[in-house]
Structure 1
């Protein structure tokens, strides 16, 4: 069985980690708008933690650093996580899918949004 399975509704199931991933919901939005985009999906959807977001990074490729067959809408840009930075309460951890790098962004900066939820 493959780790990632594409679903008919455009989501992707991570069978290894028990997660369902949304398509990219928004580009170039601040954290507040990112949280709104995720909330519009309904119950159970949330921003991924930094550890979860790194699960879909494919370091064997770049621009984007993601499996384009499974995640074809991935932008070579920063993506928000829900994980706060310990040294700055006004920042969150982010992943750049151009090269798979990890960094931090101020809450007012802009990044893309992909939501996650537990599989049923």
Structure 2
């Protein structure tokens, strides 16, 4: 089971109970491993600290991660949609991520490995300017942050 961290949302404009701002059970917690990687202490995932600032198609993004050697490890992969959402910080904007641990993150779009269920030519993407999660064609070019 993938435990997701708190979204960081602290304000709500509705009176409905049970929204993100009502909970803070898994606050984000990261460790900088000092070798270009960051460990997420909530999910146990190890992330590439900084992407290489290159936009790629979905296929090329997967190949990049498959071929990446970082922190003495070579089992990197493109993160799933849920995994990528787990590092979004909805309490910040442009970029929507903890820049102490993930510096120089582009306030732009990053690929997930998750293919759209009804159309294999598309995949889920996460916009790190505001944390939105949407879909696009795999032929588009976006940034990639690998995980293991």
Q: C-alpha displacement at 1:105, in angstroms?
A: 1.6
Q: Which runs of 5+ in 1 are unaligned?
A: none
TM-score (norm 1): 0.90
Structure in which a larger fraction of residues adopt strand? 1
Between structure 1 and structure 2, the one with the greater Rg is 2
Over 3 Å counting, the alpha-carbon distance change for 1:25 and 1:37 in structure 2 is: farther
Pick 1 or 2: higher relative contact order, CA cutoff 8 A, min separation 6.
1
Equivalent residue, structure 1, for 2:30: 4
Matches within 5 A, 1:88-103: 88-103=119-134
Matches within 5 A, 1:29-44: 29-42=56-69, 43-44=74-75
Instruction: String of CA shifts for 1:24-80, please: whole Å, max 9, x gaps.
Output: 144321112211211221542111010000010011111100111110121111100
Structure 1 consecutive aligned stretches of length 4 or more whose deviation exceeds 2 Å = none
TM-score (norm 2): 0.74
Q: How many residues align?
A: 116
CA RMSD of aligned residues (A): 1.3
SS across alignment from 1:18: coil
Q: Which runs of 5+ in 2 are unaligned?
A: 1-27
Equivalent residue, structure 2, for 1:104: 135
Does the Cα contact within 8 Å between 2:62 and 2:113 map onto a contact in 1? no
